[in-house]
Amino acid sequence: MSELTPGLRARLAAIAGPGRLLTDPADCWPYGYDNSRRHALPQAVVFAAADDQVPDQIAALVRLCAEAGLPLIARGRGTGTTGATVPDRGGVVLSFERMNRILRIAPGDRYVVCEPGVVNADLQRAIGAHGFFWPPDPTSAAVCTIGGNLAYNSAGPRAVKYGTPREHTLGLKAITGRGEPIHTGVLTTKGVVGYDLTRLIIGSEGTLALITEATLKLTPLSEATRTLRAAYRDIHSAAAAVSAIMAQPITPCALEFMDAAAIATVRAYSGLDLPDATGALLMIEVDGPTACVDSAVTAVETAARNAGLLDCRHAADAAEVAALWKTRKALSPALRHIAPKKINEDVVVPVSRLGEFIDGLERLSREQGIRIVNFGHAGNGNIHVNLLVNPDDPVELARAHRCLDAVFTLVLRLGGTLSGEHGVGLEKRDFVAREIDAPTLRLMADLKQCCDPAGILNPGKALPISGGPAMVVFP
């Protein structure tokens, strides 16, 4: 790690501009963590300028870091859960939090142009006034930024129908690790000139280029939404219902799942109006034109009915919608109460193998003596696997790590992937080679070398490497 000499500090200050550079350790400290509980102190924090000079500023910063051998880590609001924005090798954190302008809303062409520091919920409010929304809706939408959503390709419940940021981004402006500005994509929904660098940069966790502007595709708000809650006797009945729902023409805009362990957790901390025998739960939302949404609900409900269905309830108004979602919304607070230091992984398996996956998790829970609670986005097989563990107990933590290793093995055996929306960062980096073969990883390494020849952009993240410094994990 290069030393931050007075001369280097002066050059950073000149690039950052007045009030945009932090070097005191106490000031830099908050920019060394994310929601993974990992922490490492950066040597400096630079705030991206909220003006038209930002491409020049960032390009100059990249060139300086490359010359000095300083890692450069892009950061939004630090809501990620994989350590991808933790400066584990020191260096400079580039914060985009002040770069939060919505530059243009074009309803006629169905796009919006914004800076990476715009908060997801703020963008939704602005475009909602024009009758549109941007489909990616992470749980942290109230605080996470568009740049972070793009860096991780983060989606949320609506992805089952509408897809991820890759499907809803028309183009980007970015600075590569060479310190060169690039412009990817087009303003239209069709365009095949050149390679699709937009989709390459999205999900790359700041390792290939630093996004300075995004052109996002807008989707009209639906006229009507209907909400259902279906309780099942067991996981296999619920899994069969998910497969049946996804096999018919109407795609719900949300299809959320809770297993028996999740339901038992919520029962202990909030009153639930569920049948006593409930072993799995589906939360379903259907949207569309008012004239046909009821028939769409009927089609989905018909598909959801099987011999294991215990109860299916519809919400008639906003109050009943809130009541039906109460179960799902009570889960995260309950888990935080039981195990504030739990391990939370998001994995994906084919929808048709969901029941087999949950069976496997229950077996691993018994074998390793680790309580596992599962919930998530059943419509695309994206399940959040929560290992309720006390990391202060070394014996239990060792069992949890063995259990997690086996979980990843199970996911890949079932034809799944190790991350659906949380990304890789540091948490899953060393497991990536299990999923991606060596020739493909070599090609990815070549792309990294091409875009970032000095290896300064978020080094050591996303792709497996050997060595590296030890990390501090806060309890």
Q: Give the domain ranges of the chain.
A: 1-221+429-457, 224-413
Counting residues of the chain whose pLDDT is more than 70, the rounded percentage is 96
- At residue 468, the pLDDT reads 41
pLDDT of 160 > 50? The answer is: yes
Express each pLDDT in 262-276 by its tens digit: 998 888 776 678 899
Three-state secondary-structure class, residue 463: coil
Q: How far from chain centre, in Å, is Cα 339?
A: 21
CA 452, 208, 98 angle in degrees (round to 5)? 115
Report the alpha-carbon distance of residue 311 to residue 453 in Å, rounded.
Answer: 58
- At residue 324, the pLDDT reads 79
| pTM as predicted | 0.93
- At residue 271, the pLDDT reads 66
Query: What confidence tier does 206 reach under pLDDT thresholds 50, 70, 90?
Result: very high
Express each pLDDT in 220-268 by its tens digit: 999 999 999 999 999 999 999 999 999 999 999 999 999 999 998 888 7
- The CATH architecture of the domain made up of 1-221+429-457 is 2-Layer Sandwich (3.30)
- The CATH architecture of the domain made up of 224-413 is 3-Layer(aba) Sandwich (3.40)
| Mean pLDDT value across residues 304-326 | 90
Query: What confidence tier does 340 reach under pLDDT thresholds 50, 70, 90?
Result: confident
- Sign of the CA dihedral 338, 342, 348, 350? negative
Amino acid at 441: L
Express each pLDDT in 423-445 by its tens digit: 999 999 999 999 999 999 999 99
Hey, which residues does 75 pair with through a beta bridge? Answer: 95
What are the C-alpha distances in Å from 140 to residues 79, 143, 167, 297, 306? 7, 6, 20, 28, 34
Query: What confidence tier does 126 reach under pLDDT thresholds 50, 70, 90?
Result: very high
